[in-house]
Amino acid sequence: MNGGDGRYEVTPLIAAAHELKAPLALVRQLALRLEDEHLSEAERARLLRQTVLTSERALRLTSDLTRSARLEDALFTVEPINPEQLCRDIVSELAPLFEVYGRRVEVKTRKHPLLLVANRDLLRRILLGFSDNALHYSTPGSAVSMQINALKNSGTIRIGVRDYGPALSSDMWRKLQKKLRTAPQSIHARPESSGLGLYIASQFAEAMNGRIGAVRHKDGATFYVELQASSQMSLL
């Protein structure tokens, strides 16, 4: 921290350390709780499940960081992908985590399927990151929804992850917009995190000639990724 305004600049390394600290601290607290000899079997099982799921979240972040650091020298394939199917796979993967947090995650079904061009692994990581963010920001009992839309003018497809939670103030929103375009910054500048997750997502999107963005709603936000539609769409 410098000065008295509560701000300090962070490098990606510090941002990564900060982002990992929260789940590690939670795993430690869960483990300490497990030392209680008076816990019921059901309570013990629940704490163990929470420990596993929290560890998995931390591990996802570490693998994203590794992938992000090696984007330039890595060769990856892009292929036509059905985004709705990918979203369904992600929902299946995340449903247990959302359930124990008292939230739901769902995919808005489309009448006509769409295809986009992407690397499956990178797109999956972007959407997992957005979903994880939405889980944290959404109100208990609410549903996070994944929505797929074709933007005909630009020939792109947008996959959005919509959460329902506290509204961001205009000031916070401006800072968030800035963060969507730049590297991790002052931790104090953004609610909850250093923006490392968004930075990684933007790196992944750019590697596929796409981009990420966000839309503010009065009751939450949508984070989205836009990628080129596949020419095979005309065959559908």
Partner 1 sequence: MTKVLLVEDDYWLAEMEAGVLQKAGYEVEIAPHALAAIELVDTFMPDVIILDVLLAGSTGFAFLNELQSHGDTKEIPVVLCTNLAEQFNDTQLGAYGVRRVVDKSTMHPSDLVVAVKAVLG
Q: Which residues bind partner 1 (CB under 8 A)?
A: 1, 4, 6, 8, 18, 21-22, 24-26, 28-30, 32-33, 50, 54, 100-102, 136-137, 139-140, 165-169, 172, 187-188, 191-193
Q: Which is nearer to partner 1, 66 or 170 (CB)?
A: 170
Cα–Cα distance list, 184 to 9, 26, 139, 197 (Å): 9, 23, 26, 9
Q: Which is nearer to partner 1, 33 or 120 (CB)?
A: 33
Q: How far is the CB of 190 from partner 1 (least distance, A)?
A: 8
Q: How many CB atoms are located within 10 Å of the residue 101 CB?
A: 14
Task: Look up residue 3 and give its two tokens.
Answer: 């000065």
Q: How far is the CB of 104 from partner 1 (least distance, A)?
A: 14
- Residue 136 contacts residue 198 (beta carbons within 8 Å): no
Q: Which is nearer to partner 1, 8 or 85 (CB)?
A: 8
- Residue 98 contacts residue 104 (beta carbons within 8 Å): yes
Q: Which is nearer to partner 1, 25 or 45 (CB)?
A: 25
Q: Which is nearer to partner 1, 104 or 136 (CB)?
A: 136
Q: How far is the CB of 178 from partner 1 (least distance, A)?
A: 16
Q: How far is the CB of 50 from partner 1 (least distance, A)?
A: 5
Helix (H, G, I), strand (E, B) or coil at 1: coil
Q: How far is the CB of 136 from partner 1 (least distance, A)?
A: 6
Cα 232 → chain centroid: 28
- Residue 118 contacts residue 157 (beta carbons within 8 Å): no
Q: Which is nearer to partner 1, 194 or 230 (CB)?
A: 194
Q: How far is the CB of 149 from partner 1 (least distance, A)?
A: 26
Task: Look up residue 8 and give its two tokens.
Answer: 């300090």
Q: Where are the beta strands (DSSP E) in the chain?
A: 79-81, 104-107, 116-118, 143-151, 156-164, 211-217, 220-228
